[in-house]
Amino acid sequence: MIKQIFDTKPEAIQKLGTGYYNIHLNIEEVQVEQINEETEESEIVAKWQCNVIRVHDASYSTIVNELIRRKYTVDRELALHRQREIKTEEFQEYFDYCESCKNIARNALGE
């Protein structure tokens, strides 16, 4: 996931016009030190920071899948499901991560 800083608050979903969308997650206002070009002095300004993922469609399932794939490959997921009775702690970690991905997607879509 790429972390970016914006001058203005970004929309949760940005259509790029290329068939892709940027999904802005965890949008928060931050204070950033920058150099004023006119006075060449350092000043603190308000900016917006968020994590950005790019998806081919802005649907719930696509966003969830993209977030999960950033941490777990399909092969790793299948292995965890096969061994869920043996590696219960590891499976629970995976399950909790998937649930957090679902919550992130719901929040991004305003659901």
Per-residue pLDDT 10s for the chain (111 aa) are: 788 999 999 999 999 999 999 999 889 999 988 888 888 888 888 999 999 999 999 999 999 999 999 999 999 999 999 999 999 999 999 999 999 999 999 988 887
Residue for token pair 């928060």: 28
The dihedral sign for the CA sequence 33, 104, 92, 66: negative
How many Cβ atoms from other residues are within 10 Å of residue 94's Cβ? 20
How far apart, in whole angstroms, are the C-alpha atoms of residue 39 and residue 7? 19
Same domain, 99 and 83: yes
Same domain, 50 and 65: no
Range of the domain at 68: 59-111
Number of domains in the chain: 2
Same domain, 74 and 43: no
Same domain, 37 and 22: yes
Q: Say if pTM beats, i.e. exceeds, 0.85.
A: no
